[in-house]
Structure 1
Amino acid sequence: MLAYTIRRVLISVPVLLGSTILVFIMVKLSGDPLESIKLRNPPPPPQTIKLEEHRLGLDQSWPLQYWNWLKGLVLHGNFGAAVQPSDNIGSEIGSHLWVTMRLVFFSVLIALILAIITGVLSAVKQYSALDYTTTFFGFLFLSMPVFWFAVLLKSWGIWYNQNVSANTFYTIGDKSVVLENDTTWGHITDVAGHMVLPTIVLGLAGYAGWTRFTRASMLEVLNSDHVRLARAKGLRSRKVLVRHALRNALIPLTTVTALDIAALLGGAILTETVFQWQGMGALFVQSLRDKDAHLMMGWLLVSATIVILFNLIADLLYGVLDPRIRHA
Structure 2
Amino acid sequence: MLKFILRRLGSSLIVLFGASILMFVLVINSGDPLFDLREITTGNRELLMQQRIDSMGLDLPWYERYWDWLSGVSQCFVGQCDFGVNRAGLPVNDLLALAAASTMRLVVLATVLAIIVGVAVGILTAIRQYSGLDYAVTFLIFLFYSLPVFWAAVLLKEYLAIGFNDWIATPSFSWTTIIITAVLAAVVIQTVLGGGLRRRLITAGVVLAFVIGTMFYMDASGFARNPELGPLPLIALGAATAVGATILFAGLHNRRVLAAGLITAGLGLVSYYVTWGLMDQPSWWLLVLLGLISVGVAIGVGQAVGGYSRSTASIVSVVTALVMGSLMILEQLFRYWPVYLGRISRPIGTIGSETPNFVGTFWEEFIDKGTQLLLPTILLTLVSVATYSRYTRSSMLEVSRQDYIRTARAKGLNERQVILKHAFRNSLIPITTIMAFDFAGLIGGAVITEQVFGWKGMGDLFQVGLRTVDPAPVMAFFLVTGTAAILFNLLADILYAVLDPRIRV
Instruction: Tell me, yes or no, whether TM beats 0.5.
Output: yes
Please classify the TM superposition score into its range, dividing by the shorter chain length: over 0.9
Aligned to 1:278: 456
1:199 CA drift (Å): 0.8
Equivalent position amino acid for 2:103 in 1: T
1:203 aligns to 2:381 (yes or no): yes
Equivalent position amino acid for 1:200 in 2: I
1:156 CA drift (Å): 2.4
Higher mean Cα deviation, 126-135 or 48-57?
A: 48-57
Aligned to 2:425: 247
* CA RMSD of superposed structures (Å): 1.9
Judge conservation of contact 2:440–2:488 (CA < 8 Å) in 1: no
Stretches of structure 1 lacking an aligned partner (at least 5 in a row): none
SS at match of 2:427: helix
Judge conservation of contact 1:202–1:267 (CA < 8 Å) in 2: no
**Larger of the two Rg values belongs to structure:** 2
Q: For residues 211-230 of structure 1, give each alpha carbon's deviation from its aligned partner in whole angstroms, at most 9, with x where no partner exists.
A: 01100110111111011111
1:39 aligns to 2:46 (yes or no): no
Which residues of 2 match residues 102-251 of structure 1 at below 5 A?
102-164=105-167, 165=169, 167-179=346-358, 182-251=360-429
C-alpha separation in 1, matches of 2:403 and 2:492? 26
1:151 CA drift (Å): 2.6
C-alpha separation in 2, matches of 1:242 and 1:311? 25
Which residues of 2 match residues 10-49 of structure 1 at below 5 A?
10-44=10-44, 46-49=46-49
1:264 CA drift (Å): 4.0
Judge conservation of contact 1:153–1:197 (CA < 8 Å) in 2: yes
1:257 CA drift (Å): 2.4
Stretches of structure 2 lacking an aligned partner (at least 5 in a row): 170-344
Higher mean Cα deviation, 95-104 or 2-11?
A: 2-11
C-alpha separation in 2, matches of 1:148 and 1:21? 37
C-alpha separation in 2, matches of 1:220 and 1:32? 53
SS at match of 1:79: coil
Distance 1:23 1:127, change over 3 A: same
> Which structure has more RCO (C-alpha within 8 Å, separation ≥ 6)?
1
SS at match of 1:30: coil
Judge conservation of contact 2:445–2:459 (CA < 8 Å) in 1: no
Distance 1:43 1:250, change over 3 A: farther
Equivalent position amino acid for 1:118 in 2: V
Aligned to 2:72: 72
Q: For residues 303-327 of structure 1, give each alpha carbon's deviation from its aligned partner in whole angstroms, at most 9, with x where no partner exists.
A: 2222222222222211221122122
C-alpha separation in 1, matches of 2:100 and 2:445? 15
C-alpha separation in 1, matches of 2:353 and 2:433? 30
1:291 CA drift (Å): 1.2
Number of aligned residue pairs: give it.
Answer: 325
Judge conservation of contact 2:99–2:456 (CA < 8 Å) in 1: yes
1:5 CA drift (Å): 2.3
Q: For residues 265-303 of structure 1, give each alpha carbon's deviation from its aligned partner in whole angstroms, at most 9, with x where no partner exists.
A: 567111111000111122122212321011111111112
Q: Under a length normalisation based on structure 2, what TM-score does the superposition of the two structures give?
A: 0.61
